[in-house]
Chains A and B, each alone.
Chain A
Amino acid sequence: DQQVKQNSPSLSVQEGRISILNCDYTNSMFDYFLWYKKYPAEGPTFLISISSIKDKNEDGRFTVFLNKSAKHLSLHIVPSQPGDSAVYFCAASAMNRDDKIIFGKGTRLHILP
């Protein structure tokens, strides 16, 4: 029972172009969403988050969009750089209702030279 789904296991994008990573969720109680980035042999590192009162949050090259009606969020990286090659995890939680974050399975992003 995957409450957070990342349906694309991998994605290849040319350096300099936009990378778009997608995430769907099923639990309507989720109201806080996060993206984590993971390099091999390292732990995930926090990238950006968004609460359900917003539909967009931007931090430098990273922007997260939230579509609550579609239960869908996406992470845009522009322009993509070689160091962006990593696995990206989408995660969701229900603030003040639960004490845990549910992670998706991850999408491996390859930035091509």
Chain B
Amino acid sequence: DTAVSQTPKYLVTQMGNDKSIKCEQNLGHDTMYWYKQDSKKFLKIMFSYNNKELIINETVPNRFSPKSPDKAHLNLHINSLELGDSAVYFCASGQDRGFGEQYFGPGTRLTVT
């Protein structure tokens, strides 16, 4: 009965590959997010969806494409992976757009070799 779940937890892949990370929340929240925590430990927002509508799209390479089939799911697809994409990616959900409390998934550690 995990509130926000992500799969896989670890992902090791080679440069140039395409990979996806899945996220699901069972909290009934309207808004979902993808964050990236890089090697410097900053947690930065990448995308936000509210009821399947994209509302935040930060300066992220267009190799990254979020997909929200319904408001409980927000998947992240990454094309042509690069070494610099190595990071921990967190999915989160929240009831209030932007400012309120957010619930995070356990993270997906992506390593690109």
Contacts and interface: CB of A to CB of B under 8 A. Distances in A.
A59 interface: no
A45 B90 CA distance: 12
Interface string A73-106: 0000000000000010100011110111101011
Contact of B99 (A87, A89, A101, A103): A101
A32 interface: yes
A94 B99 contact: yes
Interface in B46-105: 48, 50, 55-56, 58, 90, 92, 97-105
Q: Which interface class (under 10, 10 to 19, 20 to 34, 35 or more) fits B?
A: 20 to 34
Contact of A44 (B43, B44, B45, B56): B43
B107 A105 contact: no
Contacts, number: 59
Contact of B48 (A46, A49, A100): A100
Contacts of A95: 98-99
Nearest to A108: B41
A99 B92 CA distance: 14
A89 B104 CA distance: 13
The residue in B45, B56, B92, B102 that gathers the most chain A C-beta atoms within 10 A of its C-beta is B102
Contacts of B58: 100
B106 A42 contact: yes
B35 to A, nearest CB: 8
Given A99-B48, A103-B44, A105-B42, A41 B99 contact: no
B43 A93 contact: no
Listed from nearest, the 7 A-B pairs whose CB atoms lie closest are: A43-B104, A99-B98, A93-B99, A103-B43, A95-B99, A46-B101, A32-B99
5 contacts: A36-B104, A46-B103, A93-B99, A101-B102, A103-B44
Interface of B: 4, 40-45, 48, 50, 55-56, 58, 90, 92, 97-107
